[in-house]
């Protein structure tokens, strides 16, 4: 009997050891598999073909979390050298060729085995809208050439197209709210919560050829052409959005120059109050009147050269810029400008791209009061060309020349155009990036076209993680040990039973 009992104990010990062995093996296996296969990443590429330049954004996100929010990161923003694609209207093939260095860079970043599954888009904005207005054949040719160039790369290319102004505004709004996690938030317990509507922010975007304002108004939107209905994460948003074509920075400064020319007493001389005193340059009327945004004088004169002289006069500069806007508005409604309906601004706003850049150079993006902003711009505008060049020797000359005009324009757009005031000014946050991602329409565009923002609240939060696997394996082992222990006890009792017989 002693022997049998010993044998039984021996067997069960062996069994327990075997189970432990299997458990350890499983554990090691899962750990090893986790190490060899880190959370798989997905990539997405979006070309932002703007009026002044093109940039390629490379995004990455963990494949198992794609329905969450705030999980997309920006790996790279590659600036295409040369002008915007609309500038290649007369040599479209070069527009395609210009994209290649950035595509080559992307192919180095996206792992080879992921490339064919990488959604790739090209979206063109106001520069191409203007070209299409001038000659739609040329716009089509440019788009065909850039599509051909991207098509030569082993990516999942999903087309090159011109965004509407409303799309540009809406996607910018989606981008900033996605990055701020103001639409939906995943708490640390893994539960999805909808933050209150008041935390949703508005978006203010200033490009080279257009500007967009997009926000959640407190009232109903009277003009359906400015309304966008979005269903995101199970919530409906009725947002106001409008894009003003020609009111991007570059086109606005062109309109300013044309307006100064037409008001000029001396036909071949332009006194420019927004250019620094002592600055002088020649421009041709052909260059000045080459855009659909500027209206050529009613009595066309042969192409001529004009001499532009800076006078550095901030008051005259502000007055000249205000003349670019038409502030009359029909009765019973509130307007932005040029008769476009706009509800009063409401809540916090994030201002990016040109609005950020024009004020950042003057160190005015840190929440300064409006009076300080006004004073700083006024002071810069009175500085002579000689002085600003000495003060900022490394700064690009064109940027330096345009700083006064651009910052004065940005301020006029926000205050007189979009109707911010001394109080609501402090609700505008000037940013280039949020969560290390450049703010613009591209991320929102990709999120929408890849269905990464579900219209309903996501169900599953995270998959089984490595720690869960370990816990599961250990629990399984303990369970097996208990079962074997139990079996041993039963077996021994049975044996002792026979013995007593």
Ligand X SMILES: *[C@@H]1O[C@H](CO)[C@@H](O)[C@H](O)[C@H]1NC(C)=O
Give the residues lining the site for ligand X (CB under 6 A).
64, 66-67, 135, 137-138, 167, 170, 228, 230, 326, 328, 339, 361-363, 448, 451, 454, 460
In the complex, the smallest distance separating the C-beta of residue 107 from ligand X, rounded to whole angstroms, is 26
In the complex, the smallest distance separating the C-beta of residue 475 from ligand X, rounded to whole angstroms, is 26
- d(C-alpha 304, C-alpha 425), whole Å: 43
In the complex, the smallest distance separating the C-beta of residue 363 from ligand X, rounded to whole angstroms, is 4
- d(C-alpha 79, C-alpha 96), whole Å: 14
In the complex, the smallest distance separating the C-beta of residue 118 from ligand X, rounded to whole angstroms, is 17
- d(C-alpha 339, C-alpha 245), whole Å: 14
Q: What separation, in Å, do the N-terminal and C-terminal C-alpha atoms of the chain show?
A: 12
In the complex, the smallest distance separating the C-beta of residue 340 from ligand X, rounded to whole angstroms, is 9
Instruction: Specify the residue, 102 or 357, whose C-beta has the smaller distance to ligand X.
Output: 357
- d(C-alpha 453, C-alpha 48), whole Å: 20
Beta bridge partners of 456: none
Q: Please tell me what DSSP assigns to residue 30.
A: H
Residue 234: which region, alpha, beta or left (left: phi > 0; alpha: psi -120 to 50)? Answer: left
State yes or no: is 94 an active-site residue: no
In the complex, the smallest distance separating the C-beta of residue 134 from ligand X, rounded to whole angstroms, is 7
Give every strand in the sheet of 269-272, ordered side by side.
Answer: 269-272, 305-310, 280-284
396 contact partners, CB below 8 Å, separation of at least 6: none
Question: 55 and 86 in contact (C-beta within 8 Å)?
Answer: no
Residue in 98, 109, 114, 115 with CA at minimum distance from that of residue 47: 98
With 0-12 / 13-18 / 19 or more C-beta atoms within 10 angstroms meaning exposed / middle / buried, residue 145 is buried
Phi, psi dihedral angles at 418 (to 5 degrees): -90, -5
Instruction: Specify the residue, 265 or 363, whose C-beta has the smaller distance to ligand X.
Output: 363
In the complex, the smallest distance separating the C-beta of residue 249 from ligand X, rounded to whole angstroms, is 18
Residue closest to ligand X (Cβ): 339
- d(C-alpha 67, C-alpha 49), whole Å: 27
Instruction: Specify the residue, 7 or 399, whose C-beta has the smaller distance to ligand X.
Output: 399
In the complex, the smallest distance separating the C-beta of residue 255 from ligand X, rounded to whole angstroms, is 13
- In the set 168, 181, 198, 322, the catalytic residue is 168
Question: 412 and 327 in contact (C-beta within 8 Å)?
Answer: no
Instruction: Specify the residue, 154 or 339, whose C-beta has the smaller distance to ligand X.
Output: 339
Angle at 204 between CA 294 and CA 329, to 5 degrees: 60
Instruction: Specify the residue, 151 or 339, whose C-beta has the smaller distance to ligand X.
Output: 339
Instruction: Specify the residue, 138 or 194, whose C-beta has the smaller distance to ligand X.
Output: 138
Phi, psi dihedral angles at 165 (to 5 degrees): -60, -40
Instruction: Specify the residue, 105 or 387, whose C-beta has the smaller distance to ligand X.
Output: 387
Question: 90 and 205 in contact (C-beta within 8 Å)?
Answer: no
Instruction: Specify the residue, 69 or 424, whose C-beta has the smaller distance to ligand X.
Output: 69
Return the number of other C-beta atoms located less than 10 Å from residue 143's C-beta: 24
According to DSSP, the β-strands at 269-272 and 235-245 are unpaired
Instruction: Specify the residue, 85 or 308, whose C-beta has the smaller distance to ligand X.
Output: 85
With 0-12 / 13-18 / 19 or more C-beta atoms within 10 angstroms meaning exposed / middle / buried, residue 464 is exposed
In the complex, the smallest distance separating the C-beta of residue 472 from ligand X, rounded to whole angstroms, is 21
- The residues carrying an active-site annotation are 168
């Amino acid at each position: 009997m002693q022997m049998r009992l010993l044998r039984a104990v021996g067997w069960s010990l062996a069994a327990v050891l075997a189970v432990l062995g299997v458990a350890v093996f499983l554990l090691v296996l899962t750990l090893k598999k986790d190490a060899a296969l880190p959370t798989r990443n997905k990539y997405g590429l979006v070309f932002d073909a703007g009026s002044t330049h093109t940039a390629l954004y490379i995004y990455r996100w963990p494949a198992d979390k794609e329905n969450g929010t705030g999980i997309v990161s920006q790996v790279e923003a590659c600036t295409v050298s040369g002008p915007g694609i609309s500038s290649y209207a007369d040599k479209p093939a070069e527009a395609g060729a210009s994209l290649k260095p950035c595509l080559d860079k992307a192919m180095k970043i996206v792992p080879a085995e992921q490339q064919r599954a990488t959604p790739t888009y090209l979206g063109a904005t106001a520069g191409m809208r203007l070209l299409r207005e001038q000659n739609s054949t040329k716009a089509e040719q440019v788009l065909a050439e850039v599509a051909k160039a991207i098509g030569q790369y082993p990516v999942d290319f999903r087309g090159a197209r011109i965004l509407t102004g409303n799309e540009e505004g809406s996607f910018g709004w989606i981008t900033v709210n996605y990055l701020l996690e103001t639409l939906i938030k995943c708490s640390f317990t893994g539960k999805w919560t909808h933050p209150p509507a008041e935390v949703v922010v508005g978006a203010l975007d200033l490009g080279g050829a257009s500007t967009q304002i997009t926000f959640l108004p407190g009232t109903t939107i009277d003009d359906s052409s400015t309304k966008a209905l979005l269903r995101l994460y199970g919530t409906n948003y009725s947002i106001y959005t409008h894009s003003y074509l020609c009111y991007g920075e570059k086109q606005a400064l062109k309109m300013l120059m044309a307006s100064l020319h037409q008001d000029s007493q001396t036909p071949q001389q332009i006194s420019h109050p927004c250019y620094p005193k002592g600055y002088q340059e020649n421009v041709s009327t052909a260059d000045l009147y080459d855009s659909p945004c500027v209206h050529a004088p009613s009595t066309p004169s042969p192409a001529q050269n004009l001499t532009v002289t800076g006078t550095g006069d901030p008051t005259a500069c502000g007055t000249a810029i205000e003349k670019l806007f038409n502030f009359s508005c029909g009765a019973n409604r509130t307007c932005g400008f040029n008769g476009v309906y706009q509800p009063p601004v409401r809540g916090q706003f994030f201002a990016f791209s040109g609005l950020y850049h024009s004020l950042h150079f003057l160190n005015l993006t840190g929440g300064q009061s409006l009076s300080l902003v006004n004073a700083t711009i006024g002071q810069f505008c009175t500085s002579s060309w000689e002085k600003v060049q000495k003060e900022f020797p490394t700064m690009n000359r064109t940027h330096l020349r345009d700083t006064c005009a651009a910052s004065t324009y940005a301020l006029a757009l926000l205050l007189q155009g979009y109707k911010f005031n001394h109080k609501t000014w402090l609700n505008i946050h000037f940013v280039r990036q949020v969560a290390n991602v450049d703010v613009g329409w591209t991320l929102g565009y990709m999120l929408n076209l890849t269905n990464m923002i579900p219209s309903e609240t996501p169900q599953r939060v995270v998959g089984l993680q490595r720690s869960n696997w370990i816990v599961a394996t250990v629990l399984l082992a303990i369970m097996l040990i208990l079962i074997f222990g139990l079996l041993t006890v039963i077996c021994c009792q049975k044996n002792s039973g026979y013995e007593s017989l």
